[in-house]
Structure 1
Amino acid sequence: MEKQQTLAIVPAAGIGARMGADIPKQYLMLGEQCILAHTLDSLLAHPAIDAVVVALHPDDVWFAALPQSRHPKIRTVLGGKERADSVLAALQSLSPEIAQNAWVLVHDAARPCLHSRDIDKLLAARQQFPQGAILAMPVRDTMKRAGVKGEIAQTVCRENLWHALTPQMFPADELAQQLAAALAAGTVVTDEASAMEWAGINPGLVSGRADNIKVTHPDDLPLAQLFLQAQSLNKDTQ
């Protein structure tokens, strides 16, 4: 039997249309390298992660130019139309021996500010949540539900509400099984946790850092740059 491995999956086959850029958002520059490069650096540098599987668009012409593409921990697969399709493709690329014993951490390509301590916390949560867990952050703001005309329909109680972050961590074979079943049933799978919830499994919540933002709109780029600079300064002073 293969030893238990810890793998990361990065679905990077999207085009990021909301950024309004000529290239997929994960390849937009963030300081001296692109968003995806920063994301991969955070995963590749963690000693507990054995390999990083990146799901790419069939027409991707940018990934091969990244220095990270030649890292010995990196593997690539062809992704699908939706995030869930890409994650499932990455899971199905694993050998049966590895899949039966591996944990996978699925992380957004456009979350470049992931901190190693958050990875540590998530991995440690396997003892408390053997069914899997996600990084998340408690909702701090007053929440409003909109009506059909754009007006406030109601104020939503924020107690017990969390913002889902990534990585989201699950046993590889279980996640592959539930993702495939949910997609076959026509379920809308917005993240890995939603596929597990559809199957009646309740993942754990692990409190993550507020700077683990997802770059979705152009205004997010300078904010992500500030967070990366702050993290770099903290490392230099430790």
Structure 2
Amino acid sequence: MTASHAFWAVIPAAGVGRRMGADRPKQYLELAGRTVLEYTLNIFIRHPRITGLAVAIGAEDPWFPELSIRTDKPMLVVHGGEERCHSVLNALRALEGQVSDDDWMLVHDAARPCLGREDLDRLLETLEHDPVGGLLAVPVSDTLKRGDADGRVEQTVDRSGLWRAFTPQMFRYRALMRALQTALAEGATVTDDASAMERAGHAPRLVEGSPSNIKITSPADLALAGFLLERDRA
């Protein structure tokens, strides 16, 4: 394994984001003058080590063609699937023949527009020679409670060793595709790429990132992301 292998960004952007209660998916909501997805894509478009991008959108998505995206890098746009894992797999299949088995795939949530350059650099530098790959994550700092069916505390959970899984999650092309294909064939709908790799017997490496790399799931998250982006711009 050498550093000569390419780095590709894979962005699953086919989600509908029902919890936002908006008239369009959350990745197309406006944020500090641009859409969430435009901010997310530009993170990878502007990074010199990213070779290209593969974006999975909804089959009847009317918003993506209206985006203002300028790039000299190759960018494939494919139809996503029912769940995130299906969208990622569709994007990987579209890259068949354009990437090598050992090229790195950086799968990143469309609704994480606040990924910092330092975090992305750290992920690339930490994992580029790793035999498995890994993900950005943040150690759990809050006290965790397990609730019962009545909404009462059943147990305080030991947080030592627990991490919040973020993205990008970075794995080799062929290994990730096989892991996702196997998980789906066995009826497992994995919620992230690291889970698929874990099911395949791998131990992804945790790379500590910034808590500012938030995922937008609610109106409050959108407001916070806007603040963080304006702060970084200033």
Q: TM-score under structure 2 normalisation?
A: 0.95
Q: Does 1:139 align with 2:122?
A: no
Aligned position for 1:95: 96
Aligned position for 1:201: 202
Aligned position for 2:71: 71
Count of residues in correspondence between the two structures: 230
In structure 2, C-alpha distance between the alignment counterparts of 1:141 and 1:183, rounded to whole Å: 33
Aligned position for 1:52: 53
Q: Does 1:85 align with 2:86?
A: yes
Q: Report SS of the residue matched to 1:41.
A: helix
Going from structure 1 to structure 2, the CA distance change for 1:153 and 1:128 (only over 3 Å counts) comes to farther
Aligned position for 2:111: 110
- Stretches of structure 1 that go unaligned for 5 or more consecutive residues are 234-238
Going from structure 1 to structure 2, the CA distance change for 1:23 and 1:120 (only over 3 Å counts) comes to same
Checking the alignment, whether the CA contact within 8 Å between 1:88 and 1:179 is kept in structure 2 is yes
Deviation at 1:222, TM superposition (A): 1.1
Q: Report SS of the residue matched to 1:158.
A: coil
Show the 5 A alignment for 1:127-206: 127=128, 129-206=130-207
Going from structure 1 to structure 2, the CA distance change for 1:197 and 1:101 (only over 3 Å counts) comes to closer
Is the deviation greater in 107-116 or in 224-233? 224-233
Aligned position for 1:236: none
Checking the alignment, whether the CA contact within 8 Å between 1:53 and 1:77 is kept in structure 2 is yes
Going from structure 1 to structure 2, the CA distance change for 1:217 and 1:143 (only over 3 Å counts) comes to same
Q: Report SS of the residue matched to 1:219.
A: helix
Going from structure 1 to structure 2, the CA distance change for 1:183 and 1:99 (only over 3 Å counts) comes to farther
Taking only aligned residues, the RMSD between alpha carbons, in angstroms, comes to 1.2
In structure 1, C-alpha distance between the alignment counterparts of 2:128 and 2:39, rounded to whole Å: 29
In structure 1, C-alpha distance between the alignment counterparts of 2:98 and 2:15, rounded to whole Å: 29
Aligned partner letter, 1:71: T
Checking the alignment, whether the CA contact within 8 Å between 1:125 and 1:133 is kept in structure 2 is no
Q: TM-score under structure 1 normalisation?
A: 0.93
Regions of 4+ moved over 4 Å: none
Q: Report SS of the residue matched to 1:145.
A: strand
Aligned position for 2:230: 229
- Stretches of structure 2 that go unaligned for 5 or more consecutive residues are none
